[in-house]
Chains A and B, each alone.
Chain A
Amino acid sequence: MSGLGISAIYFLDQKGKIIISRDYRGEVSSSITEKFQRKVLELDERLIKPVFTEKDITYMWIRVNNIYIVSVAKGNPNVALVFTFLYKMKDVFCDYFKELEDESLRDNFVITYELLDEMMDHGYPQITEVKVLKEYIKTEANKMQKMTSEQQKKENQKISQAMTNIVSWRPEGIKHSKNEIFLDVIEKLNLLVSANGNVLRSEILGTVRMKSFLSGMPELKLGLNDKALFDMTGRTSKGKLVEMEDIKFHQCVRLNRFEAERNITFIPPDGEFELMTYRLDTQVKPLIWVECAVENFTRSKIEYVVKAKTQFKSKSIANNVEIYVSVPTDVDSPVFKSNVGTVKYVPDQNCMVWCIKQFPGRKEYHMRAQFGFPSIEAEERQKYSRVPIQVKFEIPYFTVSGIQVRYLKIQEKSGYQALPWVRYITQNGDYQIRMQ
């Protein structure tokens, strides 16, 4: 019987051949990837579940670019842990190799082995914090400084400490000439609207990203207009308060202090990281509402009238708005008419895209499109109407939820002054409007 972890990890190319693998527990033979190959590559991938068991071996796999990352386990592995690890591992590799793909793995096989060994031992994830790993496992490019043996010794101790430190995400002794920290509050709006305009589901997924360039071991405290905090302390606020449903923190945040006092305190990792995510389940009006009417759908042509309307304050502007409207698979000779933006037909996605560089609030634009049909009708021409309209956009200096950073206090024992910079942006998430 095996533990919570996995027996081995395989990186397979598109054809199912092993690019590189690491057997952690010596309990499976590597020929088992053939089984995986048979199953996933030869059957319809769409229908195969991400976890399945053949005989006594369980396969858990994800797909990244052109490779499959397959982990196998015996017994009763912790599936959630395995998948989470696979994704975190993917992030680590992406950080190291810029791109995780067939080529980059082959080119960096020595580092890949080193990382696989450090991230996981005996099938148990150990550390997936890329900043710390980079201290220890260096690419060819940055490992070549010669060190005296004394320096080396110090360095080694430092690494060992970093790997097991309570503050596992930040090595000591970081120095920056200018102490700055940047905060991005990014909100993604997930929206599902029925054809008649009913909002079926709306959800805001917020992220607070940080780019920290602070020296030493700074102690940070972040203040938000969090309703729960005000409720807890009995204070009232003139401004709007936001009720966050579910908050998730980077491991640097002291979770018990948050639980007890609702204060967000932490020692940040150096560089870029995601401090927290939150979710709000509030009913949001569609910021950009799109209506699409199909007219004159005959054997020879189809016509669309697309109406897009912004429903936010006029002083905000949505940038790079892209509206995707699905069309039947066999349309040809598109003709578009629109006074704003450009429209393109994207045959391989069976849709047209209406791009509007800048779309101010409280405005409404129209677009007409016409397509012809070939004389031989494609099967299931009608099915286009099942694909919802999708909208992409970015609205800077604006958050749907109204969340605000009230303060970011930075304290370090050396007592330097540091500048926090804050930016807000709202983007589309899964933003779908069903067609009629």
Chain B
Amino acid sequence: MSGATTNGASSSAAGGGYFSNMKSSELAELQTELNSLKPDDRREAAKQVIAMMTIGKDVSSLFPHMVKCMETTQIDMKKLVYLYIINYAKAKPDLTIMAVNSFQKDSREKSNPLMRALAVRTMGCIRVERITEYLCESLKDCLTDEDPYVKKTAALAVAKLYQTSPRLVKDHALIKLVQNMLHDGNATVVSNACASLLEISRAAGKNYLRIKSGSGPSASLNKVLVALNEANEWGKIYIMEGISSSYETADMKESENIIERVVPMLTHNNPAVILSAVKAVLKFLENIQPPTGDLAKGVVKKLAAPLVTLLASEPEIQYVALRNINFILQRQPTIFESNVRVFFCKFNDPVYVKLEKIDILVKVADDKNADIILNELKEYANDMEIELIRSSIKAIGTIILRVDKAAKRAVEILQELVNTGQPLCLQEAVIVARDIFRKFPNKYDALIKDLCSKLLEYYEPEAKAAIIWIIGEYAEKVTESEKIIDSFADAFLEEPDKVKLQILTAAVKLFLKKPEEGEDVIQKVLKLATEESDNPDLRDRAYIYWRMLSTSPQNTKQVVLGEKPHIADDSYNQYDDTLVSALIDQISTLGSVYHKTQDELANMQKRAAGGQPSVTPQPKKEEEEPVPQVEEQKEKKKVKKQEEEEPEEKPKKKKKADEKPAKAEKKKAEEPVKEVKPTPVVAPTNAGLIDIDDLLGMGDSQPVSQAPQQQQQSQNQFMGGLMDFGLPSQPQQQPPAVAFSNPFGDEEEEDSTAGAGWAADFGGQSTPAEDYSKYFLTRVHPLMKEVVGNGSKGKDGKTGLFVKAGFSMANAGIQLVLEIRNGSGQIVKDFDIMFNKNPFGIAIYGAANAIDIPDPGSSTVQKALPCVIDKKNLVAGLTNNGFTNLASVAKQGATMVYFGAKTVNNLPILLEIAAVQGSTSVSVTYRVPVAPLKPLLEDTLDYILSSERRA
């Protein structure tokens, strides 16, 4: 007995030895010791083996010797060997078979229930089907053992077996035996049977946990409810989970009965028991009528205190509790009415708990308590934690929108924060302020003043955007607003796009409100936005404003300064009722933490596990992947915001779209030349999407010069932004030999009238109509890009020739503008310009034209070369109609061309046009983000594709 007298201290010294470095020669030594005649030596050796296994060394070679050691009556020795076998069973199934006999013997060990249980527990952990096969009979015996400890272990072993082999479970009719256990007199057995059946039901997608009511021999409800009372804390959870997930009450009386039995569990000190009880109560409460009756009210009242007490437990558990309370509140809004203070943050709460508390404070805020909540939020806004500051100020903003009565106090607090708070406070406060002015226009003028006094302190883009919006909106009130906007305009090019857009809008508003003072600013901003910016959205918007202003300033006023849609933020984090019900089924589970239903969670995980390995889900799941409903709302909000700028946009577009099909119809009737069948199909499959995504990255044809590409693209997107589908397109198949000479035809005129003048089209851009008012700026020059410069060397390594190039639209089509300057000091000869193939199929015609190289020192020579698009006419045609060609692929005899476009409000549209060789029809598959776009797009495509026939 080497270690017989050791106590804690010396065993620790010995234990240290287990983990000391071991050499391979020791394996041989261990082997000898495992075969020793003295049981204590064997045990010490087994411990050594387990120690090595623990630190990850491979000791599988000792398998046969360890199995031999199973022949012992000493249970602690057995445990060591079993641990070893579980670890290596999967890797060494052949050797594990040697242990089968021993397992069978142990599971029938009459005198020792602990041994039987240990054997059955370990057997289940061997996850090799052909071995477990031998063990089913033993398992069956254990399921009907007289000892409850063996039985409760066997119950779970069935779930283990089901995981390894559902077939074996069925073959031996084990489920029935577990179901019988629900009638067992021992609560531990009943609860483990519940857990086991629950798991098997989930895995099989079929309910095996059939709890029956009534008083017959098969009735188990009452037995289970009795066991609920007697079971230990964990057992209580399994039973409650079992009842709430698989039992449907027959009538109200039964629901009442269950609630009555579950309510005492709310006083348990185990947080998980409490949450399971809350789940069961809320679930069966749904059957209690009337839902606002005394009974229901009384029960709901009992839920509040236990939930609050959870907030005194460990932070991790608090977090789970808070996530659950978050949606429980929506079902039972009055539950915490009297004690919202429990959601106040403690100084030492972890950040994740604090943020959840703030979220809940917003939800519980109402007329009565808003003031104390606001004061508390103000306190957090002065905290040190960045996340806390942000979300507390956002919370103040949301309360303003939600609780009308609190608005006054909240604005005061906001004002205080603006004046005294830290810089970060200010950034958030101004964003919140913008929403306040949206909701209460012209109400809190003092706040504007305070905000405007801090102009230089806004550094975050969102904050800058917000302050500029405010200044634009109240241009007439803010003193010297024109100077402020002008100073922002001076830094226009350095600002992020978000800010640029706001400067643009603010400049327009300023001009509309104070035409005299604002004229210079608007001129400047429009020029910068259209000429210097490479952001298509910005340019689009600038062009729109420009057109609007030049067409009718009066109408523009109505549009830009018109009444804005109301922003009542009742939708804040509100889930619809079915989702809340689904979440109540999820209380205390992972789903409840992420606010996802069982199915959503399963899908999410499936996608994450099976999908592209490069995409790893982010830690803040619940924020980044909000529940669809919320996302939709956000989307809507976004759309709303966009609409605010151009509320008239939509109806007009519709009108146009309505007109076009009619036109198209007419033309179809006139010239039924080719059979073109656009068959729009929504392509919702993931695979399809990924395909397109992949294709986006495909650069099969690299443009040589950057300049033409940029120019072309931006024009395309400009068109795309306006969604002017009215222009005709080229056929995508069997391209006619005709060059892209006059792509607009007579359509042009019709369209510009139909589009009320500002539905910009190419023609209009280069040939301004006479009635353009004075606000119309000078023509846009093509963006010139240097293609030959100081860095480019000639044949002999000489430099000095400068060439700038850019594409522009001429009356008849595209032209390439070249600016050539000779800075070399010599006369240049042998000047060739080679145009590489490019994805836009642009080629120069008449390229034989002689280009004169200017003499040294003389000024720049400009040259415009007409271009044609001679490649895929389809590509060219569609790109001129607002689509961007993303890629083309040919596979299996079919040619697939992908297009993308954006609507004015930035909704993406994807098109796949597939043409099978030899067939005259093409199939069109598209994807739109919102359903209302569908008919519009279909009509448009119909029109584009049929009108090209006419050409």
- Which residues of A are in contact with B by a Cβ distance under 8 Å? 1-5, 18, 20, 25-27, 39, 46-56, 58, 60, 62, 73-81, 83-87, 103, 106-110, 113-114, 117, 121-122, 124-129, 136, 139-141, 143-144, 153, 156-157, 159-161, 163-164, 166, 168, 190, 192, 194, 200-201, 203, 205, 245-251, 254-256, 258-259, 274, 276-277, 279, 281, 380, 383, 386-388, 430, 432, 434
When distances are taken between beta carbons in the complex, the residues of chain A under 8 Å from B54 are: 20, 109
When distances are taken between beta carbons in the complex, the residues of chain B under 8 Å from A108 are: 11-12, 15
Residue pair A79, B590 in contact (C-beta under 8 Å):
yes
When distances are taken between beta carbons in the complex, the residues of chain B under 8 Å from A27 are: 163
| Residue B690, interface by CB 8 Å | no
Contact bitstring B576-605, A, C-beta under 8 A = 1, else 0: 000000000010111111100010011011
B344: nearest chain-A partner, CB-CB: A201
- Output the least CB separation between B181 and chain A (Å): 12
Residue pair B112, A110 in contact (C-beta under 8 Å):
no
Q: How far is the CA of A109 from the CA of B53 in the complex (A)?
A: 11
Q: How far is the CA of A1 from the CA of B316 in the complex (A)?
A: 24
Q: How far is the CA of A199 from the CA of B280 in the complex (A)?
A: 36
Would you list 26 pairs from A and B whose C-beta atoms are within 8 A, ordered by A residue? Answer: A1-B202, A1-B203, A47-B351, A47-B387, A51-B590, A52-B619, A56-B605, A76-B602, A79-B592, A80-B276, A81-B588, A85-B272, A110-B50, A117-B79, A156-B111, A156-B112, A156-B114, A166-B187, A200-B344, A200-B376, A205-B312, A246-B306, A248-B267, A255-B229, A259-B264, A388-B347
When distances are taken between beta carbons in the complex, the residues of chain A under 8 Å from B156 are: 121-122, 124
Residue pair A56, B606 in contact (C-beta under 8 Å):
yes
B230: nearest chain-A partner, CB-CB: A166
Residue pair A201, B121 in contact (C-beta under 8 Å):
no
A202: nearest chain-B partner, CB-CB: B341
| Residue B772, interface by CB 8 Å | no
- Output the least CB separation between B106 and chain A (Å): 13
| Residue B621, interface by CB 8 Å | yes
A383: nearest chain-B partner, CB-CB: B384
Residue pair A113, B50 in contact (C-beta under 8 Å):
yes
When distances are taken between beta carbons in the complex, the residues of chain B under 8 Å from A434 are: 379
When distances are taken between beta carbons in the complex, the residues of chain B under 8 Å from A276 are: 269
| Residue B609, interface by CB 8 Å | yes
A121: nearest chain-B partner, CB-CB: B156
| Residue B4, interface by CB 8 Å | yes
| Residue B80, interface by CB 8 Å | yes
Identify which of A5, A18, A124 gathers the most chain B CB atoms within 10 Å of its CB.
A124
Given contacts A248-B268, A386-B382, whether A160 and B589 have CB atoms under 8 Å apart is no
| Residue B38, interface by CB 8 Å | no
Given contacts A140-B11, A160-B113, A256-B229, whether A55 and B617 have CB atoms under 8 Å apart is yes
- Output the least CB separation between A151 and chain B (Å): 12
When distances are taken between beta carbons in the complex, the residues of chain A under 8 Å from B142 are: none
10 closest Cβ pairs, A-B complex = A246-B305, A3-B199, A107-B15, A248-B269, A56-B605, A56-B609, A80-B588, A255-B264, A160-B149, A50-B316
Residue pair B234, A159 in contact (C-beta under 8 Å):
no
Contact bitstring B342-384, A, C-beta under 8 A = 1, else 0: 1010111011100000000000000000001000100100111
When distances are taken between beta carbons in the complex, the residues of chain B under 8 Å from A52 are: 619, 621
Since A107-B15, A125-B234, A248-B269 are in contact, a sample of 15 more A-B pairs with Cβ atoms closer than 8 Å, ordered by chain A residue number, is A4-B195, A4-B237, A49-B319, A54-B608, A80-B317, A107-B16, A108-B11, A109-B18, A124-B238, A129-B232, A245-B305, A246-B267, A248-B309, A256-B229, A277-B309
Q: How far is the CA of A266 from the CA of B943 in the complex (A)?
A: 83
- Output the least CB separation between A419 and chain B (Å): 27
Q: Which of A50, A78, A81, A109 contacts B15 (CB 8 A)?
A: A109
- Output the least CB separation between B874 and chain A (Å): 41
Residue pair A164, B186 in contact (C-beta under 8 Å):
yes
- Output the least CB separation between A217 and chain B (Å): 16
| Residue B315, interface by CB 8 Å | yes
Contact bitstring B4-21, A, C-beta under 8 A = 1, else 0: 111110011001101100
When distances are taken between beta carbons in the complex, the residues of chain B under 8 Å from A144 are: 4-5
Identify which of B15, B186, B265, B268 gathers the most chain A CB atoms within 10 Å of its CB.
B15
When distances are taken between beta carbons in the complex, the residues of chain A under 8 Å from B348 are: 430
| Residue B189, interface by CB 8 Å | yes
When distances are taken between beta carbons in the complex, the residues of chain B under 8 Å from A256 are: 229, 261, 264
A143: nearest chain-B partner, CB-CB: B76
Q: How far is the CA of A39 from the CA of B314 in the complex (A)?
A: 22
Chain B residues 469 to 488 lying within 8 A of chain A, measured CB to CB, are none
Q: How far is the CA of A58 from the CA of B237 in the complex (A)?
A: 21
Q: Which of B152, B347, B605 contacts A164 (CB 8 A)?
A: B152
Residue pair B8, A83 in contact (C-beta under 8 Å):
no
Interface size for chain B: under 10, 10 to 19, 20 to 34, or 35 or more residues? 35 or more
B227: nearest chain-A partner, CB-CB: A166
Residue pair A110, B47 in contact (C-beta under 8 Å):
yes
Residue pair B83, A113 in contact (C-beta under 8 Å):
yes
When distances are taken between beta carbons in the complex, the residues of chain B under 8 Å from A113 are: 50, 79, 83
Residue pair A117, B270 in contact (C-beta under 8 Å):
no
Contact bitstring B21-63, A, C-beta under 8 A = 1, else 0: 0000000000000000000000000010011001010000000
Q: Which of B187, B241, B267, B387 contacts A249 (CB 8 A)?
A: B267
Q: Which of B114, B339, B598 contacts A160 (CB 8 A)?
A: B114
Residue pair B589, A109 in contact (C-beta under 8 Å):
no
Chain B residues 108 to 130 lying within 8 A of chain A, measured CB to CB, are 111-115, 117, 121, 124-125, 127
Given contacts A39-B619, A201-B342, A256-B229, whether A156 and B305 have CB atoms under 8 Å apart is no
Q: How far is the CA of A276 from the CA of B8 in the complex (A)?
A: 33
B382: nearest chain-A partner, CB-CB: A386
Q: Which of A4, A79, A156 contacts B320 (CB 8 A)?
A: A79
A245: nearest chain-B partner, CB-CB: B305
Residue pair A77, B111 in contact (C-beta under 8 Å):
no
- Output the least CB separation between B493 and chain A (Å): 33
B339: nearest chain-A partner, CB-CB: A281
Residue pair B268, A56 in contact (C-beta under 8 Å):
no
Given contacts A80-B275, A81-B588, whether A53 and B186 have CB atoms under 8 Å apart is no
Identify which of A1, A75, A81 gathers the most chain B CB atoms within 10 Å of its CB.
A81
Q: How far is the CA of A166 from the CA of B186 in the complex (A)?
A: 8
A198: nearest chain-B partner, CB-CB: B375
| Residue B321, interface by CB 8 Å | yes
When distances are taken between beta carbons in the complex, the residues of chain A under 8 Å from B379 are: 194, 434
| Residue B616, interface by CB 8 Å | yes
Given contacts A50-B316, A110-B50, A246-B305, whether A255 and B195 have CB atoms under 8 Å apart is no
- Output the least CB separation between B462 and chain A (Å): 21
Identify which of A122, A194, A203, A246 gathers the most chain B CB atoms within 10 Å of its CB.
A122
Q: How far is the CA of A156 from the CA of B309 in the complex (A)?
A: 39
Contact bitstring B156-171, A, C-beta under 8 A = 1, else 0: 1101100100000000
- Output the least CB separation between B51 and chain A (Å): 6
Contact bitstring B613-633, A, C-beta under 8 A = 1, else 0: 000110111000000000000
Q: How far is the CA of A122 from the CA of B127 in the complex (A)?
A: 12
Residue pair B15, A4 in contact (C-beta under 8 Å):
no
| Residue B188, interface by CB 8 Å | yes
Residue pair A279, B312 in contact (C-beta under 8 Å):
yes
| Residue B882, interface by CB 8 Å | no
A168: nearest chain-B partner, CB-CB: B232
When distances are taken between beta carbons in the complex, the residues of chain B under 8 Å from A254 are: 229
Identify which of A49, A136, A141 gathers the most chain B CB atoms within 10 Å of its CB.
A49
A97: nearest chain-B partner, CB-CB: B8
Identify which of B163, B309, B376 gathers the most chain A CB atoms within 10 Å of its CB.
B309
